[in-house]
Amino acid sequence: MKNTFKIFIVEDDRMYQKMLTHILEPDKSSKLYLFSSGKDCLDALGERPDIISMDYSLPDMDGTTLLSSIKSQDLDAEVVVLSGQTDTSTIYELLGLGAYDVITKDVSTKYRLINVIRRLKELIELRHQLIELSSAF
């Protein structure tokens, strides 16, 4: 069973970063890592995050580039993209690249993100249990 989930928050808007921290920090089963750029996130992937919440529009790269770079690292991390982007072709592209979900930034973002993180933690727990069971045989 996993004790602590490492969650990367990649967001360049300080106010939005504070809001995300505020909604995710009370969960003591999570350790949050904050990044303001895609490069900083990529440089820290050695920490082996479980979940990455990333903004689509960052100062140094767009979400498609960052997601592709994350997925090329062959990590088990699940990625949730937060964006003001409503173009369906971009959303489908992000999902095709391996994003677990794409959440549009609006008044419901907080609640959707909390639910997605909760589901991802359950999924990660199930994966760990499956690995433990498989190794027993």
Architecture category of domain 5-135 in CATH: 3-Layer(aba) Sandwich (3.40)
Strand pairing report for 5-10 and 51-55: parallel
Residues 58-113: tens digit of each pLDDT: 999 999 999 999 999 978 899 999 988 778 999 999 999 999 999 999 888 989 99
For 62-97, letters b (16+ CB in 10 Å) and e give ebeebbeebeeeeeebbbbbbbebeeeebbebbeeb
Domain boundaries, the chain: 5-135
Whether pTM > 0.75 for this model: the answer is yes
